[in-house]
Amino acid sequence: MGDIGFNRSFGMVESGEEAHVIKLLHDSQAPLSVLAHISWAMRLVARTPIGSQPLFEHMDWSAKVLEERKKNTPKEKDVFSCLLNPNEDQITPEMNADSRLLIIAGSDTVSATLSYLLYELCRNLTVQAKLRAAIDTVKPEKAHLDVEDVAECACLDGVINETLRLHPATPSGPQRETPPEGLTLPDSTYIPGKVNVWIPIYSLQRDPRYWMDPLSFMPERWTDERPGATIEKRAFLPFLTGPYNCIGQKLAMMELRSVTANLVRSFEITFADGENGSTIENKSRDCFTMTVGKLDVRLKPRYED
């Protein structure tokens, strides 16, 4: 997201280690998961150095990244080419908020989904073999598959969608404020005006009213192989819906398709010795985005160099 948003690399891939900013990101999300429900408490947290340090340190870091971006006009457009006005000296609070959102929602969500996708492929080796067989038929003459090569691979999209259903990267979903006059739900429940409401995506996407055998990892529910396995597709909201849906969903799907296709094509993926997936299941935490527990996997090359 550094290149896409700010026309610079954060150096996380090159180092091969968890960067300080990633730890900062995860630590800062923990207080936000509470403050999102009692936003007035932010003033109290701001007076508590221990509790607020990661949050405000991350805010300061994001602001510095944006300030550096404003000083340099890149040759190629990035996200902030559309948001920054070169004729204005001052960076607005809204711009700083957008810089934090871009880093949080654009980086951590895809990595969380990939972690859970690998977890499900290790648990469901038959699904992994089926996916590999489908990918092996795509441009077998190419050493590396491009996004365009796998854009129409139904089996791949089924695996990705089923991962997003069972393990949404934003489990609680963002909040919305009801209109001043309030609103009435189809079951006649009335919600007063100017009230914060959430749609619990995690619960909705595991609700047996909308999904047959909802806790099973079943990629076929997204293809024609299991008609009826999906009772109500409108209950699938990993990127939300409507005019305020996720602006980066197409980019996220491109990343997920490319990484998954090339990993599965090149490696046999299994749990590492001593790993059974219990940590990622039990230690992951909903902190607006999902902070994922540790998962160790083994990648066995399918081909000799």
What domains, with CATH codes, occur in the chain? 1-91 (no CATH), 112-173+214-305 (1.10.630.10)
- Chain-centroid distance of CA 16 in Å reads 21
- Reduced to 3 states (helix: H, G, I; strand: E, B; else coil), residue 190 is strand
Q: Check residue 224 and give its pLDDT.
A: 86
Measure the N-to-C terminal CA separation of the chain; round to a whole number of Å: 31
Counting residues of the chain whose pLDDT is more than 90, the rounded percentage is 51
> In this predicted model, which residue has the larger pLDDT, 194 or 289?
194
> In this predicted model, which residue has the larger pLDDT, 107 or 238?
238
> In this predicted model, which residue has the larger pLDDT, 186 or 12?
186
Q: Check residue 268 and give its pLDDT.
A: 97
Mean of pLDDT over the chain: 87
- What sign for the dihedral angle of Cα 163, 164, 166, 167? positive
> In this predicted model, which residue has the larger pLDDT, 19 or 303?
303
- Reduced to 3 states (helix: H, G, I; strand: E, B; else coil), residue 100 is helix
Q: What is the pLDDT of residues 100-130, one digit of tens each?
A: 888 777 767 899 999 999 999 999 999 999 9
The DSSP string of 10-68 is: -SHHHH-S--HHHHHHHHHHHHHHHHTTSGGGHHHHTT-HHHHHHHHHHHHHHHHHHHH
Q: What is the pLDDT of residues 264-283, one digit of tens each?
A: 999 999 999 999 999 999 99
Helical H segments across the chain, by residue range: 2-6, 12-15, 20-35, 42-45, 49-71, 93-103, 109-123, 125-136, 154-166, 201-204, 249-266, 278-283
Q: Check residue 168 and give its pLDDT.
A: 96
AA identity, residue 7:
N
Can you say which residues are annotated as belonging to the binding site for heme?
246
Looking at residue 294, what DSSP letter applies?
P
Cα-flanking dihedrals φ and ψ of residue 301, to 5°?
Answer: -60, 140
Q: Check residue 47 and give its pLDDT.
A: 63
**pLDDT at position 187 over 60:** yes
**Strands 267-271 and 297-301: what pairing?**
antiparallel
How far apart CA 172 and CA 8 sit, in angstroms, is 31
**pLDDT at position 195 over 70:** yes
Counting residues of the chain whose pLDDT is more than 70, the rounded percentage is 88
Q: What is the pLDDT of residues 121-155, one digit of tens each?
A: 999 999 999 999 999 999 999 989 999 999 999 99
- Reduced to 3 states (helix: H, G, I; strand: E, B; else coil), residue 123 is helix
Question: Among 151, 161, 138, which residue's Cα sits nearest to residue 265?
Answer: 138
**pLDDT at position 297 over 70:** yes
- How many CB atoms neighbour CB 243 within 10 A? 5
Looking at residue 230, what DSSP letter applies?
B
For 133, counting Cβ atoms within 10 Å of its Cβ (0-12 exposed, 13-18 middle, 19+ buried), the class is exposed
Can you say which residues are annotated as belonging to the binding site?
246
Residue 3: pLDDT band with limits 50, 70, 90:
confident
> In this predicted model, which residue has the larger pLDDT, 9 or 163?
163
